[in-house]
Chain A
């Protein structure tokens, strides 16, 4: 990570745990995660369902249930302040203003019975203290800036009147309304078509550059990571198993899971009927996580030590590239292009 040396990054997550107390036991959804994010950078968090990436993002912005079923530990330092230790009232000031979020499914993340204008202006009025008329003007500007035509007319429409892509643009406008320093986008394009996906990711990238905003882009798609992020953290079963710059990860993956993830997705460049390197088995049950490496059971290189002892995140010579593996892959060019 380029600016590793700066004293206080925008966001620093230290040894974060989020466990869920369920009737069937404690689920280790996020299990000792640490990373840092500098201002204006994009961090990709990649993993499959159940890897803990969405729970991680909801822990950072602190919107998980408060009924005692969620057990947290660790620190989420935002501009030096530990958000985990903040009282709810102060944390509310952070949400929407300092950290905003875009969710996966724009069909369900906008309130179906509220006009689009209202869903944007409520941030401006309630959080920025803007007078109503000014908030409306600003909302029109925001709608324009996310590329929705006839911005002024959109204020009085309901989400049902818009396509999925347009709704996600509205969701981005809502997130941008509070001028956040950090935007968390949780699989923002998974529910959309590829052509719309490219438009939305492009919009995010442009807004980020304009506003010098940091972005956490959560995705299951390494292709998206490659094209749209600066740095990347690979999550598996609640833990970060590899983290480095995006280019480094694509060219020189060290953790076998990263490699497996790359190889299991079909590649357009391969001829038809190319056998895919599927990862056998399933991720471990988070209610009963194994003692050793959590990927060991599915790993083609696993040895005895792997299931006995959990590997810690280490690096070789480059401290910006860390991975958790007893028998890391040899450094090689994984992608010839």
Chain B
């Protein structure tokens, strides 16, 4: 897990919020490295803390405890100006492309904005860069530059968001559910685009989604989150072939796909994700786990490596019996 060439390291990161006077951890004590050039997928149900993780990395808001190291620098120690410099190399794309673009501004101004903020004075050079990056994301600069976001479909807006993120030539892009609001046919376009951009610009991606099939498709490694903690981390092919955590297996079984015509097995996972205000004792998943035993309530399982690169937080991982 502690790869030497880690571009981003998260160590013991905790993010706490206050809800109705009660303090609770949206994510607690997570540790992970993202290697340069890889795509790490982060998957889980709503409320599991995956989006909070993405935002804590770009320090919006900064984590309550723990450390985020990007290109060797501890982000929590940077002052405002230094953080601004780092943000150019650490971009984020959000779920709803239409509302993340200012409806009153023209596309060329939206895409050029990071350059303006960074102090690029040369308007002709700015325009050249905007054109280049719009072309790269598959938006025709001649017709698009002078239009406003509402004149575009959701998919095109997401392309523009990608262009805006790319124009500063970032190292890492946090993609927070970037295709969840899009139709399947457009979703495929954006996923392909992200793959192409990663290749072309040498990007590292943190890809956050609730959709395991999407995450598996785009990621090199996948981390599964549940109630603010990691429950499994492995190569994406491996996690699909041999899920070790019962939650991962359950998630996978609930995805309806074309090969299960009329299958009636009943839902693979019962119940709902518990409130983070009052997480279960021991293993956080035990209230929904089909294999839960006494030990699971008493003792919190450690996030341990069961095979090279395959980590799981479970007392009774599935693969240890299976393989």
Contact = CB atoms under 8 A, between A and B. Distances in A.
Interface in A133-176: 163-166
Contacts of B212: 194, 268
A266 B216 contact: yes
A202 B267 contact: yes
B118 interface: no
B214 interface: yes
A266 B254 contact: no
B269 interface: yes
Question: Could you say which interface size class chain B belongs to?
Answer: 35 or more
Contacts of B191: 266, 276, 278
Contact of A277 (B186, B188, B220, B262): B188
A279 interface: yes
Interface string B246-283: 00001110111111111110111110110000000000
A261 B184 contact: yes
Contact of A227 (B185, B188, B256, B269): B256
B258 A223 contact: yes
Interface in B64-102: none
A278 B261 CA distance: 23
Contact of B45 (A195, A228, A282): A195
Contacts of A222: 258
Interface in B208-265: 210-214, 216-220, 236-237, 240, 250-252, 254-264
A274 B188 CA distance: 11
19 contacts: A193-B45, A195-B251, A195-B272, A197-B254, A198-B269, A202-B266, A227-B256, A228-B256, A260-B185, A261-B184, A265-B213, A267-B258, A268-B252, A272-B217, A273-B218, A276-B188, A278-B186, A279-B188, A335-B259
Interface pairs A-B: 10 shortest CB-CB: A278-B188, A223-B256, A337-B259, A279-B185, A266-B217, A276-B188, A264-B188, A48-B183, A198-B267, A198-B254
Interface of A: 48-49, 163-166, 193-199, 201-202, 205, 220-224, 226-228, 246-247, 250, 260-262, 264-280, 282, 335, 337
